[in-house]
Amino acid sequence: MSMHPPEPFRIKMVEPIHLIQEDERERALQRAGYNIFGLKSDEVYIDLLTDSGTGAMSQDQWGAMMIGDESYAGARSYQRLSSTMDEIFGFRHFVPTHQGRAAENILCAVILKEGQYVPSNMHFDTTEGNIRARGGIPTNLVIIEAFDSESDYPFKGNMDLKKLEEFIKQVGPENIPLGMITITNNAGGGQPVSLENLRAVSEIYHSHEIPFFIDACRFAENAYFIKLREPGYEKKSTLEIAREVFSLADGATMSAKKDAIVNIGGFLAVNDSALFEKICNELILREGYITYGGLAGRDLDAIAVGLMEGLKEEYLAYRLGQTAYFLNELKKQGIPVIEPAGGHAVYIDAGKMLPHIPQAEFPGQSLVVEMYRSGGIRSVELGSVAFAYPDPDTGEMHFPEMELVRLALPRRTYTQSHLDYVVNVLKNITSKKESLSGYRILKAPKLMRHFSATFEPI
């Protein structure tokens, strides 16, 4: 029996997928240098690489795209997105951007100077990259429970308030041009942040006159977690919760490819009018005019409709229920996972699953490769391939706390039987896990090496 509400939609357009033969998968792996980013999508059966831009749009979104207004300035599509933005986020100003990292780039360009700090619970890698690219220093201050895969704390994305206070004192508020928080915390397992914590973070930043920005990619999933888990919010709608969340902040960045369920798009929103003027100038230089920001008019319409659909509670009950179902089925097979279930993905602790493979031989990479080899499933390593780095002085390697493999769930895309298939493949891998070997890197760039490194089996 299904443990979660069934899909609140039926399927009227299908995209065929196909499991190629085992020998073809082996050849594909060799050609790709054992890096799943190098596979062609036709070679993949179930693609759990990311939930970003990979969801299925609704009939209302496709319908809205047909009335997209492609006027260069002041398009009707922009007006429609603008009224949805007012209804949910309530910031005084916003600009569309082509995706989340473009919003981050523009924000950093107008607000950040070299040597300044930007605290957050955990920055996502593009946010971190954009801060560093301007000479800034990103700092992660998430609560300690975030690193305990077995802790069932309900809001493992929360900021450590004591650490935040100490950090501000230590570096001085004048060296912090903005403070952030990511909801839900993608880099920490898609775990939510409570409203109580958001309120306290807002108070701390504001007591030091530091502008507070929210990375809002998964704000709707975060709102539904608050409704489910935070006392006093059971009866509030997700829209009311979202409004309360954003009323605490001075601005937000968002990749609409997540909770707005579109294939491309994002935005940057602020209250401060002087800052907005700078943002507009930068946007016009880099992205496009302020009423389209690097997107087509039809994309703005799809975002406007998707933002509201992403907040629908029967959709969120199914969405978070599906993730929890997937996690529970994996647990039943004895596969070590990060608990409790986050919003958009399940994370397998490959270090625990494959203790015979040392960190230097990438247990997560071994599992990612085996999932593709055994079942045509694409996942992503978030362990030592992605995060280990050599000490600049001694050259000694620093390894991350956990060797994770992320199975991200595209929105409204795969059914329960697809997920049952993935569980079954992992069950078979578990039964022969001692036979899995490690990998060695043949070639890799210095930064973001997981995207393009090549490997060979040891």
Ligand X SMILES: Cc1ncc(COP(=O)(O)O)c(C=O)c1O
- Least CB distance to ligand X at residue 251 (A): 14
Q: Is 268 in the site for ligand X (CB under 6 A)?
A: no
Rg (CA), the chain: 22
Q: Is 156 in the site for ligand X (CB under 6 A)?
A: no
Measured from the CB atom, the residue of 181 and 436 that comes closer to ligand X is 181
Alpha-carbon distances, residue 280 vs 96, 179, 288, 406 (angstroms): 10, 21, 9, 36
Q: Is 101 in the site for ligand X (CB under 6 A)?
A: yes
CA distance 444 to 365: 14
Measured from the CB atom, the residue of 227 and 258 that comes closer to ligand X is 258
Q: Is 217 in the site for ligand X (CB under 6 A)?
A: yes
- The region of 95-103, 145-153, 222-230, 328-336 touching ligand X under the rule CB under 6 A is 95-103
Backbone angle region of 230, left / alpha / beta, with phi > 0 → left and psi within -120 to 50 → alpha: beta
- In order, the DSSP letters of 141-193 are -B-GGGG-TT---TTTT-B-HHHHHHHHHHH-GGG-S-EEEESSBGGGTSB--
Q: Is 131 in the site for ligand X (CB under 6 A)?
A: no
DSSP state of 433: G
Q: Is 121 in the site for ligand X (CB under 6 A)?
A: no
* Joined tokens for residue 3: 């443990």
- Residues 226-265 touching ligand X, rule: CB under 6 A, are 255, 257
- Least CB distance to ligand X at residue 217 (A): 4
Is 115 buried (19+), middle (13-18) or exposed (0-12) by CB count in 10 A?
Answer: exposed
Query: Phi and psi dihedrals of 118, rounded to 5?
Result: -130, 100
CA distance 120 to 133: 17
The alpha carbon of 267 is separated from its chain's Cα centroid by a whole number of angstroms, namely 15
Q: Is 186 in the site for ligand X (CB under 6 A)?
A: yes
Position among 68, 266, 342, 383 found at the interface with ligand X (CB under 6 A): 266
Measured from the CB atom, the residue of 124 and 455 that comes closer to ligand X is 124
Measured from the CB atom, the residue of 116 and 127 that comes closer to ligand X is 127
- Least CB distance to ligand X at residue 194 (A): 17
CA dihedral 233, 237, 240, 245 (to 10 degrees): 50
* Joined tokens for residue 445: 């760039």
* Number of amino acids touching ligand X (CB under 6 A): 14
DSSP state of 50: -
Cβ atoms 89, 265 nearer than 8 A: no
- Least CB distance to ligand X at residue 254 (A): 8
- Least CB distance to ligand X at residue 221 (A): 11
Site string for ligand X, 49-88 (x = CB under 6 A): ---x------------------------------------
- Residues 33-52 touching ligand X, rule: CB under 6 A, are 52
Q: Is 124 in the site for ligand X (CB under 6 A)?
A: yes
Alpha-carbon distances, residue 267 vs 85, 143, 243, 257, 348 (angstroms): 10, 28, 17, 11, 31
Measured from the CB atom, the residue of 343 and 351 that comes closer to ligand X is 343
- Least CB distance to ligand X at residue 306 (A): 14
- The region of 119-127, 333-341, 406-414, 421-429 touching ligand X under the rule CB under 6 A is 119-127
- Least CB distance to ligand X at residue 124 (A): 3
- Least CB distance to ligand X at residue 128 (A): 10
- The region of 97-105, 291-299, 330-338, 401-409 touching ligand X under the rule CB under 6 A is 97-105
SS3 47: strand
Measured from the CB atom, the residue of 383 and 438 that comes closer to ligand X is 383
- The region of 41-49, 121-129, 269-277, 407-415 touching ligand X under the rule CB under 6 A is 121-129
Cβ atoms 268, 94 nearer than 8 A: yes
CA distance 338 to 429: 19
Q: Is 97 in the site for ligand X (CB under 6 A)?
A: no
Q: Is 182 in the site for ligand X (CB under 6 A)?
A: yes
CA distance 45 to 378: 8
- Closest-by-Cβ residue to ligand X is 100
Position among 215, 221, 250, 329 found at the interface with ligand X (CB under 6 A): 215
Q: Is 365 in the site for ligand X (CB under 6 A)?
A: no
Closest to 180 (Cα-Cα) out of 135, 255, 123: 123
Positions touching ligand X (CB under 6 A) are 52, 99-101, 124, 126-127, 182, 186, 215, 217, 255, 257, 266
